[in-house]
Amino acid sequence: MFGAYVTVTILASVFTAIAAVTYFAGHDYPKAQLDMKRLPHSWMPMLGAFLAAGSVGLLAGFAVPLLGILASIGLVLYFVGALVAHLRVGSRNLVGWGVFFITVVAALVVNIAHNG
């Protein structure tokens, strides 16, 4: 179980950190996603900060387990919000969202199983 906990937590942290960097760097992909969801580009730093905080929180969970659990809950909520944004505009292209969502849900499950 410990191996799964470490692997899934690090994987989720890396995924969300890379996503955060794309938001902070102003990459074209997050801009296109915001345009598609009819959200302002001014939200990019805030969304990147949420992802970065979740990524750091997952890693901090190795030292303080409650932080890892709270970070994974926050990331699950973030991606639920992303799903709502997709569905609000009628987008059915949910493969990317699904990869992130499954990863952060798995992080939540292994964090609770290992530390709960």
Residue 77 is predicted with a pLDDT of: 98
Residue 116 is predicted with a pLDDT of: 75
Whole-number Å distance between alpha carbons of 42 and 79: 19
Domain boundaries, the chain: 2-115
Q: Each residue's pLDDT tens digit in the chain (116 positions)?
A: 899 999 999 999 999 999 999 999 999 999 999 999 999 999 999 999 999 999 999 999 999 999 999 999 999 999 999 999 999 999 988 999 999 999 999 999 999 999 87
Residue 87 is predicted with a pLDDT of: 95
Residue 1 is predicted with a pLDDT of: 84
User: Distances from the Cα of 70 to the Cαs of 36, 60, 98, in angstroms?
Assistant: 30, 10, 21
User: Distances from the Cα of 93 to the Cαs of 7, 37, 80, in angstroms?
Assistant: 27, 12, 15
